[in-house]
Amino acid sequence: MKTLRLILGDQLNSKHSWYKTNDKNVVYCLFEMRQETDYVTHHIQKIIGFFAAMRAFSNHLKTNNFKVVYYKLDDKDNTQDLVKNLKQLIKKHDIKKFEYQLPDEYRIDQQLSEFCKSLDIESEAFSTEHFYTEREDLKAFFKGKKQYLMENFYRDMRKKHDILMAGKQPEGGKWNYDKSNRNKWKGEHQIPTYKYFKNDVSNIVELIKKSDIKTIGKFDTKTFSYPITRAQALDQLKYFCEELLIHFGDYQDAMHTDEVYLFHSRLSFAMNIKLISAKNIVDTVLNYWRKHGDNIDISQVEGFIRQIIGWREYMRGMYWALMPDYKTENHLENTNKIPEFYWTGNTKMNCLKNAITNSLDNGYAHHIQRLMVTGNFALLAQINPDDVDAWYLGIYVDALEWVQLPNTRGMSQFADGGKIATKPYVSSGSYINKMSNYCDNCHYDKKEKLGEKACPFNSLYWNFLDDKRSILVNNRRMGMMYSLLDKMEKDQLVNIKKRAQSIIENPDNF
């Protein structure tokens, strides 16, 4: 029976069971489409990375004698629509069965589900064989529980998969070494030069320009430096273990004006397009640590593994548990427009200038830059979460909705009312100063709440607490801050709110 198998751009898993045998009656297809380049304004490096990795994967399959139909963006047969392309190939190749791997984005899942209902041939969906968990596992785990606490899920994952366990107890005596992951980097440990991959993408850059695709961000070279093949991803993982793991946990939350990546792995893009699996990464890191444990503290390893089997699997599970309603949640009723400087980096606030410029230059920022700088300001300035979602989904090369949406709307913007985060992740300038050197040469004074030189985060912070009092005052984790707010002189609060309002109304002046 002649079968058509669809491979999406984030399903580049060469270890999938599909490829264990080469059935000559199976045709594989991959499409570069305007449907995917245009649904949000993407960073140019994101489109480059996806197309480059898809082309490399197609070539890998062809080299191994699989039948592949690959539509480049400007292919004359490319309709730029997933369903239309599939219908075209089913007719052209006299296909009798359609198969696909379950998409990780709700949007595509719905599109393919409806498409399969319309077919008069057989269809079947398969697991991507990438994650530790299946879509519905987290929902089942939390059934009947009031809160979806990540820590509970994370501990269960550790036990279930025997990761960092000593019998029934956590190895090292602790489940979580988060308190060891909060050091400020002051240059005491030298950061190795990060690993470049010189993937020539000049033809893709020309194609994007010729096609007049609207993009954001910069790309001033001909080579794409993130991994685009499984071999490169494994090389990057090896480099992380040998050079970066030793201090990953220590400086996991640190930020610095002179460093883009610090000790982070740069594996998120490769993971999210499935060049390399979560289990592959965890097993490799654990094996390396077992051999070199004398030099690497368990806190470095646990901090890294928590991000993968904890946060990453948890966010995917939450996405599928809460969609589609989750995409429209706005618990705090924030409606302000996102500032123009999010697209340019033109602001006098040094933390935002650095985090945004880094994002525009590299399509990258680590989790604390996303959460406690750009996300923090967006929440304090009460930006519409729709705007914030679109920015985060577009600007990062690793951004796919299943991981971006719960991180942004939930963790960062508290728009879900606490389904993911137990409190809003907001802070004044003091936290940013604690974790970075951003405040050292800033136009604003991190200690001042009022005056032209006062750090905007400070007045915005107290204004946010006051504005959202009716919604947040009964949150027990916010009790101390509301106690401090209640002790503030009324005249001082009035002036703070005036300062905050001027920032909210004219953010691009700051």
**What is the residue-averaged pLDDT of the chain?**
96
- Sheet-wide strand order for 67-71: 67-71, 26-31, 3-6, 97-101, 122-126
pLDDT in tens, 394-425: 999 999 999 999 999 999 999 999 999 999 99
> Nearest-5° angle of CA 272, CA 277, CA 278?
90
Question: Where does the pLDDT of residue 94 fall: very low under 50, low under 70, confident under 90, or very high at 90 and above?
Answer: very high
Contact 429, 454 (CB under 8 A): no
CA atoms within 13 A on the CB side of 154: 21
Question: What is the arithmetic mean of pLDDT over 235-251?
Answer: 95
CB under 8 Å to 438, separation ≥6 — which residues? 255, 257, 350, 351, 354, 373, 432
d(CA 119, CA 123): 8
340-509: CATH number: 1.10.579.10
**pLDDT over threshold 80, residue 176:** yes
- Tell me the pairing of strands 223-224 and 97-101: unpaired
Task: Tell me where in the chain the CATH 1.10.579.10 domain(s) lie.
Answer: 340-509
Any idea what DSSP says for residue 255?
B
pLDDT in tens, 427-469: 999 999 999 999 999 999 999 999 999 999 999 999 999 999 9
Nearest to 108 by CA among 11, 246, 175: 11
Task: Tell me where in the chain the CATH 1.25.40.80 domain(s) lie.
Answer: 137-200+227-322
pLDDT in tens, 357-380: 999 999 999 999 999 999 999 999
Please tell me the predicted confidence (pLDDT) of residue 340: 97
Question: What is the arithmetic mean of pLDDT over 41-57?
Answer: 98
pLDDT in tens, 110-166: 999 999 999 999 999 999 999 999 999 999 999 998 889 999 999 999 999 999 999
- Would you mind telling me the total number of residues written for the chain in this entry? 510
Please tell me the predicted confidence (pLDDT) of residue 182: 82
If 0-12 CB within 10 Å is exposed, 13-18 middle and 19+ buried, where does residue 300 land?
buried
Please tell me the predicted confidence (pLDDT) of residue 15: 97
**CATH top class, domain 3-126:** alpha beta
Predicted model pTM: 0.95
Please tell me the predicted confidence (pLDDT) of residue 147: 85
3-state secondary structure of 190: coil
**pLDDT over threshold 80, residue 69:** yes
Task: Tell me where in the chain the CATH 3.40.50.620 domain(s) lie.
Answer: 3-126
Please tell me the predicted confidence (pLDDT) of residue 181: 80
Q: Which fold has domain 137-200+227-322?
A: 1.25.40
